[in-house]
Amino acid sequence: MTNEDLRKKLFELKEEEYKDFVNALTPGEDNMIGVRMPLIKKIAKEIANSNWREFLKNAYTDYHEERLVYGLILGFAKIELDELFFYLDKWLLLVNNWAVCDTVTMNLKIFSKTKEKEKVVDYLISKLSIKGKPFIKRAVIVCLFCYFLSDDYIDKVIEIFCETKDDDYYIKMALAWGVSTILIKNFDKGLGLIKSKKLEQWTHNKAIQKSLESFRLTVEQKEILKNLKI
């Protein structure tokens, strides 16, 4: 499939009502076609199983759906880490909303399978210093709590979360989401983080709120958290 083929296909699959619905949920996205996610993922898989390198070489990225396809290909393709980092560097600069950010980062299953986890963590941490690109920082945060909450890395993730201070709403929300995930995965570690009060107040309280909404914590755990808001 060529990039011209992709754009034509996306417009053939366009649904105006769906576009309006997703647009309302995706502030900052002004260039959306309106294609449902299962169809986007199906297309990305098809490209990932064919000429994906040639496709990405001159990829069209003007539209929301094109940026999704670009990123999803990286999760579906057979690819080594160094090559993945090369393409991720390019994709990260394109991300302009939470939907593209989260959909793609949560599809990078190679991060959970690789034996070179330290290499991935170092790569992710290196991106936290990039200024003026909040969705890059959000992508790092989402990757960390999706793939690195094992015993070997959870303390490092907690340390990074405590050190990450930012006024951007989408970064703060990602941190709160991440902390609530830590509480679900390892309640004792998460509780220690909450009790340390090292997070910013908004993030601290939002993480507790999200945890209280979870079906994966017990009533007893939620009672403990209720008393820790600041």
> Within the chain, which residues score under 50 in pLDDT?
none
Same domain for 196 and 218, yes or no, is yes
The structural domain count of the chain equals 2
Cα torsion at 161, 71, 110, 85 (round to 10°)?
A: -80
Looking at the structure, do residues 120 and 75 belong to the same domain, yes or no? no
Encoded tokens for 55: 């496709």
Look up the domain containing 86 and give its range: 1-108
Asked if 7 and 101 sit in the same domain, the reply is yes
Residue finishing a domain among 78, 108, 138: 108
Residues 2 and 71 in one domain: yes
How much is the pLDDT for 28?
A: 81
Confidence at residue 27, expressed as pLDDT on a 0 to 100 scale: 87
Rounded Cα–Cα distance for residues 228 and 140 (Å): 27
Q: Tell me: do 197 and 224 sit in the same domain.
A: yes
Please say which residue of 53, 80, 108 terminates a domain: 108
H or E element in which residue 70 lies: helix 64-76
Q: 163 and 68, same structural domain? A: no
Is the domain of 93 the same as that of 141? no
- Check: CB of residue 191 under 8 Å from CB of residue 218: no
One-letter amino acid for residue 213 of the chain:
E
Of 108, 125, 158, the residue that ends a domain is 108
Instruction: Based on the fold, state whether residues 71 and 134 are members of the same structural domain.
Output: no
Q: Same domain for 54 and 31?
A: yes
Instruction: Note whether 229 and 147 are same-domain residues.
Output: yes
Q: How far apart, in whole angstroms, are the C-alpha atoms of residue 27 and residue 155?
A: 33
